[in-house]
Amino acid sequence: MFPFSRQKNRNKAQYVLSPKIGVPHPPYDLDKRLCVFCGAVGDGETAKCGRLISLTEYYWVHVNCALWSAEVYETQTGGLIYVDRAVIRAAQTACDHCKRPGASVKCHKMNCGVNYHVICAMQNNGHFVKDRTFICKLHERVAPEVCVSRLDALRRIYVKRDENTMLMRLFDLSEGDRLCLRLGAFTFYKLGSILPKQLKRFHNKDYIFPNQYRITRLFWSPKNHRDRMMFECFIEDRTDQPSFVVRSLEDPQLSFRATTATKAWYPIYEKVNQLREQHGESLKFFGPQISGETLFGLNENAITKITESLPGFDTIFTYQHRHQNSPVLELPLAENPRGCARAEPRQRNSGQHFRTRPQPMGATSHANHGVIGSASGQSSQANVVSSSSSSQDHGPARQAATLLTSGRTRGNRSYYTEEAAAKARAFGIAAEYAGFAHKFEAQNSQTRFSAYQKMRTEWKDRVYLARSRIAGLGLYAKNDISMGEFIIEYKGEIIRSELCEVREVRYTAHNRGVYMFRIDEEWVIDATMAGGPARYINHSCDPNCSTQILDAMSGAREKKIIITANRPISAGEELTYDYQFELEDSSDKIPCLCGAPNCVKWMN
């Protein structure tokens, strides 16, 4: 390779975008990438179309074709926003010069419908203005000082997109073998999988080790201290234990296997270190300070998002999750090894451990909180609205989520024990884990009941009623409230569902606000005429509170609806929670007045 300064007869522009100075672009026949906008193959000239940047895992766009599109703007970090919108419009727009679709550059002048490709716009003597707008030649001449003659974009520019969505599409199980992910010297090829019987052994506190996981890494050569060598790293199953293999793709004799990733890389560390010690001019290599899991890429943020999406790891207690409740992969339903459920034997031990026995006063469950109606002072928020509380009862527990009015019914019913048992069978969760969950739940219920007894005597010192900034009256915090703390109980008259419907019609006829909260399918708390101040808590799309059902296991009449804090609440802050109404058609919409940054504008 000759120094760059010697090759004066070559165009310097062809080296500018090269990965290394002195390495030209690949030949034309090797680059098969097409620009979605102009349809040209490969990278374009720097002063015109520019290089290709990734739009999706399959599609590419020239940097200037996207940058000069009418819909696209660039962030301070170089991210291009709304490129997808430009692609949709350009696909339906023909260029006024070449008559081909994909024209993304639009004249900025009002009532001018001229559209070009970037190359066609330059050939037609259009004006590219510094404020990233384009004016065609049909209009008055633009001052030269505000125009740009070259479209060089020699800076960091990329199409901004959702990382989780991209990873999901990149490593979808149906296409994972066709794609790879390059992160510096590390290339990820295959995710692998973990069977239910491998869940307990193929992970530790910090990392997950999928079976058949495969990557390659460019690392220092143990034969020449100036060279680097490509190594393949993969994980295999040996006697139900993970086995880590590191081997050179250039020298088959360099292959090492061990029970941990660090031990598999250790012989390579030693060889590289000895080689550098023999050549005094080389820097000392501190290989033991590099963990093998790091060289396997198991600590990369993109990789951990994918591995934590594998089925079963959301139930593992001995692994510390880095990405809570953010599955990247949309996994298919688990296959039954026996063909169908009817062919299974009656041995379902893992599912049976999820069925809890009746417990003393204090067993609790979460609720999807809701109220029905609003007070007379809050009629602007809603006249008659409805929601539900879905509870997780123990024993043959079920989550009842049907609402009171036919127009706003959640209709969301699920059975906790059956669902838990099904998940246990599908994921192969061991019995000791299910037993641990049962024990933890029993201890937690006693703690919650103690908190409820404390709340009963102290709730008046925690909240006060005042005019709400949202609608009508609202409930405010007197003092600072900690996250998870019980605040107040939603009190009222406990009535049956049949009587609830009758009363709702009566209250509406008398223009009275309706305050109701469903406990389960049969029972409802009516706080309209006789209730506590908790009924005045308003709805918010960004709530600071939620609801729970405290179950005494002695009938629906003994269930308590508790308002709890989702986060730390400051003194003087208004209490809110999400009513979680069902979506309605446009003729029956209830406007939301919460004013939260993420407000969806409608309560239903």
| Token pair listed for 160 | 């901004």
Q: What's the pLDDT score for residue 439? A: 41
Q: What's the pLDDT score for residue 258? A: 93
Half-sphere exposure at residue 574, Cβ-oriented, CA atoms within 13 angstroms: 22
Q: What's the pLDDT score for residue 600? A: 83
pLDDT value at 356 more than 60 = no
Cα(first)–Cα(last) distance of the chain, in Å?
67
Instruction: Using pLDDT thresholds of 50, 70 and 90, give the confidence band for residue 552.
Output: low
- Residues 461-480 have pLDDT tens digits of 889 988 888 888 889 999 89
Q: What's the pLDDT score for residue 333? A: 53
- Mean per-residue pLDDT for 277-305? 81
* Higher-confidence position of 363 and 462: 462
Nearest to 604 by CA among 473, 410, 379, 368: 410
Share of the chain above pLDDT 70, in %: 70
Domains in the chain and their CATH numbers? Answer: 31-161 (3.30.40.10), 164-315 (3.30.160.360), 363-588 (2.170.270.10)
Distance of CA 30 to the CA centre of its chain: 36
Nearest to 199 by CA among 191, 190, 208: 208
Q: In what order do the strands lie in the sheet with 493-496?
A: 493-496, 523-526, 516-518
Q: What's the pLDDT score for residue 340? A: 56
- Rounded to whole angstroms, what are the CA distances from 167 to 175, 182, 183, 292, 328? 12, 12, 13, 24, 7
From the CB of residue 233, how many other CB atoms can be counted at a distance below 10 Å?
A: 23
pLDDT value at 406 more than 80 = no
- Mean per-residue pLDDT for 368-388? 35
pLDDT, mean over the chain: 73
- Residues 238-287 have pLDDT tens digits of 988 999 999 999 888 899 999 999 999 999 988 888 888 887 777 776 76
**Alpha-carbon span 560 to 295, nearest angstrom:** 53
Q: What is the dihedral of CA 244, 259, 269, 232, to 10 degrees?
A: -10
Q: What's the pLDDT score for residue 176? A: 53
Q: What's the pLDDT score for residue 242? A: 92
pLDDT value at 57 more than 60 = yes
Alpha helical stretches, state H, 195-348? 261-278, 292-295, 301-307
pLDDT value at 528 more than 60 = yes
Instruction: Using pLDDT thresholds of 50, 70 and 90, give the confidence band for residue 337.
Output: low
pLDDT value at 389 more than 90 = no
- Mean per-residue pLDDT for 575-603? 79
Is residue 80 within 8 A of residue 67, CB to CB? The reply is: yes
Q: What's the pLDDT score for residue 209? A: 92
- Residues 150-169 have pLDDT tens digits of 888 888 888 887 777 777 76
- Mean per-residue pLDDT for 348-370? 34
pLDDT value at 569 more than 80 = yes
Q: What's the pLDDT score for residue 175? A: 55
Q: Please name the residues in contact with 342: beta carbons below 8 A apart, sequence gap of 6 or more.
A: none
pLDDT value at 2 more than 50 = no
Q: What's the pLDDT score for residue 236? A: 92
- Mean per-residue pLDDT for 372-380? 35
**Each residue of 18-31: b (16+ CB within 10 Å) or e?**
eeeeeeeeeeeeee
- Mean per-residue pLDDT for 213-225? 89
Instruction: Using pLDDT thresholds of 50, 70 and 90, give the confidence band for residue 288.
Output: low
Q: What's the pLDDT score for residue 20? A: 42
**Alpha-carbon span 542 to 325, nearest angstrom:** 18
- Residues 423-445 have pLDDT tens digits of 444 444 443 334 434 443 444 56
Q: Looking at 182-186, 322-326, 437-441, which range is the least confident one?
A: 437-441
| Token pair listed for 109 | 């002048």
* Higher-confidence position of 146 and 257: 257
Q: What's the pLDDT score for residue 287? A: 63
Per-residue H/E/C for 187-229:
EEEECCECCHHHCCCCECCCCECCECCEEEEEEECCCCCCCEE
* Higher-confidence position of 115 and 391: 115
Vertex 229: Cα angle to 226 and 231 (nearest 5)? 155
Point out which residues pair with 536 in neighbouring strands: none
Task: Give pTM, 2 decimals.
Answer: 0.45
